[in-house]
Amino acid sequence: MPVFSGRGTGVTAKLLGDKQVLAKFRVIPLLVQKQLKDVVHDSALRIQRGGKERCPVRKTKGLGGRLRNSIRVYFYRNGQAAQVGSDVEYSKFVEFGTGMRGSGSSHPPVPTGWVYGPRPGMKAQPFLYPAFEVERPRFIANVVRKVRKVGRGLT
């Protein structure tokens, strides 16, 4: 049975007895982890799909699509976290552009063997970040919904 006391400006709560209630409290982290794992998985796949849909592809016949096809999801922390990205060496240049070139640039160095052309830089063509931004509110809403669902299941 819960006992509440309010001394001064603080409130103290103690849960006395009821082993069933205490057992339910021990299960909460496991239930929440399972629910969050599902939310992370679904959101990561939607970000991957959105990134692939937004990814620019060269229109030359027989060429193009390497960057889009390289967008992968990597799960870690036992599925509680995910990373969506590409291991293609020029992916960051497409996502963020190259901007100003030369020693005054804060841009990362280009891969070995690349030569600057006569243009000042390449315009950014974001594809992963917009996919992430579209998914962010849905992810937050799903986390809240799943945690509430776990809470309701304990009553």
pLDDT tens digits, 83-136: 999 999 999 888 888 765 554 555 566 666 666 666 667 788 899 999 999 999
Q: Is the pTM of this model over 0.85?
A: no
Question: Which pLDDT does position 116 carry in this prediction?
Answer: 61
Q: Look up residue 17 and give its two tokens.
A: 């007895």
Band of the pLDDT at 12, cuts 50, 70, 90? very low
Structure confidence by residue, pLDDT tens digits, 116-125? 666 667 788 8
Give the span between the Cα atoms of 12 and 2, in whole angstroms: 10
Between 43 and 119, residue with greater pLDDT: 43
Cβ-proximal residues to 108 (8 Å cutoff; 6+ apart), any chain: 92
Q: What percent of the chain has pLDDT over 90?
A: 34
Domain boundaries, the chain: 26-153
**Which among 155, 146, 109 is positioned nearest to 34, based on CA atoms?**
146
What does the pLDDT average to over 19-38?
71
CA 97, CA 90: separation in Å to the nearest integer? 10
pLDDT digits (tens, 9 = 90+) for 49-96: 999 999 999 877 767 799 999 999 999 888 889 999 999 999 988 888
d(CA 24, CA 27): 5
User: Greater confidence, 22 or 9?
Assistant: 22
